Amino acid sequence: MNTPDTPPPLMTLMTGDTKPLDLVTVRAAIRRALQERPIRPPAHEIAELTRTLRAHLEAMLPEAQYRADQLEPDTTARKRWEGLIDHVLADLDFGVGAERPIRCAARAYLEILARDARFLADCLDE
């Protein structure tokens, strides 16, 4: 907890405790995953974007957890972060083990991950 005399703690991104997040690259992958197309993208592109978004989400989660941990327990802000983290973890777990999903299901899962990544990136950018 901060008092008026003590400066707020540095975010882990500023102290080097976590790798810097490249939110520009994350957002580029999100835009690519969510762009409107006249035809469904090929399976290899869906698989590549899914792997990329999963990696971006996994990279953003430690910073999200750090920010949640800095908040007072049982506050709305803390519960919001914890809910977001739990939601992202559940979506990441959902895709594990699906070796050759049906293309339409794979595309839907890609969109879920992209929306998770967009919301998490926006929260981390506040």
Q: Average pLDDT, stretch 59-70?
A: 95
pTM tops 0.75, yes or no: yes
Phi-psi region at 22: left, alpha or beta (left = phi > 0; alpha = psi -120 to 50): beta
User: What residue segments make up the domains of the chain, in order of their start?
Assistant: 16-124
8-45: pLDDT as tens digits: 555 544 445 556 788 999 999 999 999 999 998 898 99
Instruction: Grade residue 63 by pLDDT with cuts at 50, 70 and 90.
Output: very high
pLDDT in tens, 77-110: 999 999 999 999 999 998 766 555 566 788 999 9
Helix boundaries (H) for the chain: 12-15, 23-34, 43-69, 76-94, 103-124
122 is written with which tokens?
């926006």
Q: Which residues contact 34 (CB under 8 A, 6 or more apart)?
A: 111, 114, 115, 118
Specify the residue for token string 């975010």.
11
